[in-house]
Structure formats: C-alpha cells, structure tokens
Amino acid sequence: MASLKNKLIALKNIHKEQYDIEVQYCNELIEVEKKYMNLLKPYWKKRAEIVSGKYDDSKEIQEEDNDNEYPEFNCLNNIHCKGIPDFWLTVMLHHPKISENITELDIKILSFLKDIRVEYMKENANFRLAFDFMQRSQKDEEIENIYFNNETLYLNFYYVLDNSYGKAEYSHSHVEGTEISWKNINYVEEAVKNKSSSFFMIFYPPHPDDHDNELESNIINETLNQIFEIGEIIKDVLIPQAVDWYTGKALLYSYNEDTEDGSWVGADINDLKIEE
C-alpha cells in the first residue's frame, strides 16, 4: 500500500497539471474580453462624438425618443448646449471610489476632459487608458486649458501571471503614466508638498522596485493597488456604463459600503448641473 507521502505527492503532481489548464483559462478569458471590447469600440466612438457636439444638429439625434421611452429626461428637454459638457467629469464624480480622489482643483482640470478610451495591449491582460483633453472649454471657447499642454494622457497597466496562492491568475505588476507637460505649475508636486492629494497623482505611479526597506515596499504596493483599482473601475465599469453613471442611475444599483446600515445610494437626474 502506498504511503501517505506518496499519495500527497501524487496530488501535488495533479495540481501542477491543473495549473496548466488554469493558465489556458486565464489567457482565453482575456482573448474573449479583447474580442468583445473591439466590438464595443464603434459604439463608444459614436458616444464620444455625441458628447463632443459633433451630432448636435443631426436629424438622428433630434428624432430620438419619439416614443418617450425615457420620460425621466423630459426635464432636460429645453436645455440646449454643445454636446454634453462635463460628461466624463460627472461620470467620475458619481462613482464613490473615483470621486474620493478628485479635489476642487482636479474638477477644474477635468472639466476639459472630453473622452476616456481603453484598449488592451498585445501581451496578456495589460491594458491602456487614454484620457483625451480639450485645449478650450466646451461650455465657453474663450476659456483656455491653462493647466497642461497634453492632448492625451496615457496610463499603462501591466500584469504578471502569478501562482503564489496555488492558482493561476493575473496579478498587478506596475503602472506607467504619461509625463504631464504642465503649463505653469506642476499641481501634483504642489499637492505632494502640501501633503494633499490629486487625481493626477495616478500619472506618477511608484515603481515596485523603488524602495529601501519593507515599510517603503508596503507603501508602494498599497499605492499601486489603489491605482490599479481606479484603472480597473474606469475600464470595467465607467467606460461601458458611462451614460448611467452620468445620470446617476448606476448608483441605484451600487451598494454603499461606507454607510453603517449598508444602505443603497442613488442620484436624481434633476441634480445634474448643465449649463446652456
């Protein structure tokens, strides 16, 4: 009769073979996500064009909702403006996790944000977020973006295939951000000096190897995990469901973990501040 030792070794060998299947699953799952993201991109492109005002005068837009399918928007019927100002800013402010990283100054800068795009890179689960900015305000072309010169800021998220917990899965590796070409003041440096925060700190991510001791390593890992969380929320939640986050409808289905009773939170379309 085989010993218990040999039986456990046999089980471990089976587990190793199982790992190969898990790797295959991870890779195929990512390929499926890439496939369907590519199918969604034409819809997101059209959304961006509507938000920017490209289709303001089109017959297609003017004839939408003839059957009054969305009566909750009737209160906005007499509001006329170019595109949908502050669309992405409002989307981000309506998400509890994202909004907690946005300061009053960030709001002024993010008012120039015209689109957020996502694309997978060729390698495994790595993906890139692109934040497109206007140089002049959508609400008032006399107002110039006085903050930075970049038309697009990129955030690249990198993963590694990990089996630390005995199961194959993609885990966080590192993040790379675009160097922001500030026009006058580097607001991130100012935030660091003043020991305050800024949403734009995510474009200055620490590298996992930039530490001298375990405490610094833990701080870096915590910061990177927070940046990954923000990136994954934007990729998986905000971009696909942008209109529902803009109107606040998505909040009706969001569990509020910050309340003592775990209550559900919501928003009202009448709370939208839209300037003509």
Domain with residue 249: its CATH number is 3.30.1120.90
Q: What percent of the chain has pLDDT over 90?
A: 51
DSSP 77-88: TT---SS-TTHH
Closest CA to 270 of 248, 237, 245: 248
- pLDDT (average), residues 223-249: 95
What are the φ and ψ backbone dihedral angles of 270, each rounded to 5 degrees? -70, -15
What are the structure tokens assigned to 181, written together? Answer: 């070409």
Per-residue pLDDT, 69:
76
Among 24-28, 54-58, 151-155, 156-160, the least confident range: 54-58
What are the φ and ψ backbone dihedral angles of 195, each rounded to 5 degrees? 55, 35
Query: What are the Cα distances from residue 111, in Å, to 128, 133, 162, 181?
Result: 22, 9, 39, 18
Residue 201 has pLDDT above 90, yes or no: yes
Residues 135-143: contacts with CB under 8 Å, at least 24 apart: 137/111, 137/112, 138/52, 138/53, 138/82, 138/83, 138/85, 138/86, 138/114, 139/81, 139/82, 139/85, 139/86, 139/111, 139/275
More confident residue, 247 or 260: 247
Strand residues in 73-121 grouped as ranges (E): 113-120
pLDDT digits (tens, 9 = 90+) for 32-65: 999 999 999 999 999 999 999 888 777 777 766 6
Per-residue pLDDT, 46:
94
Q: Which residue has the tokens 């170019």?
A: 82
**Domains of the chain: total:** 1
- pLDDT averaged over every residue in the chain: 85
List, in sequence order, every residue forming a beta bridge with 137; answer none if it has no partner. none
276 inside domain: no
pLDDT digits (tens, 9 = 90+) for 104-150: 999 999 999 999 999 999 888 999 999 999 988 887 777 889 999 99
Among 57-61, 91-95, 102-106, 223-227, the least confident range: 57-61
Local structure of 225: helix, strand or coil: helix
Question: Under a CB-based contact definition with an 8 Å cutoff, are residues 155 and 203 in contact?
Answer: yes
Q: Domain limits at 38?
A: 4-271
Question: Under a CB-based contact definition with an 8 Å cutoff, are residues 100 and 230 in contact?
Answer: no
Per-residue pLDDT, 265:
46
Report field, pTM of the whole predicted structure over 0.75: yes
147 inside domain: yes
Per-residue pLDDT, 264:
41
78 inside domain: yes
DSSP 69: S
Per-residue pLDDT, 266:
46
- The set of residues, in sequence order, having a beta carbon less than 8 Å from that of 217 and lying 6+ positions away, is 208, 211
Please report which confidence band the pLDDT of residue 218 belongs to, taking 50, 70 and 90 as the band edges.
Answer: confident
Query: What are the Cα distances from residue 121, in Å, to 51, 110, 221?
Result: 26, 26, 23
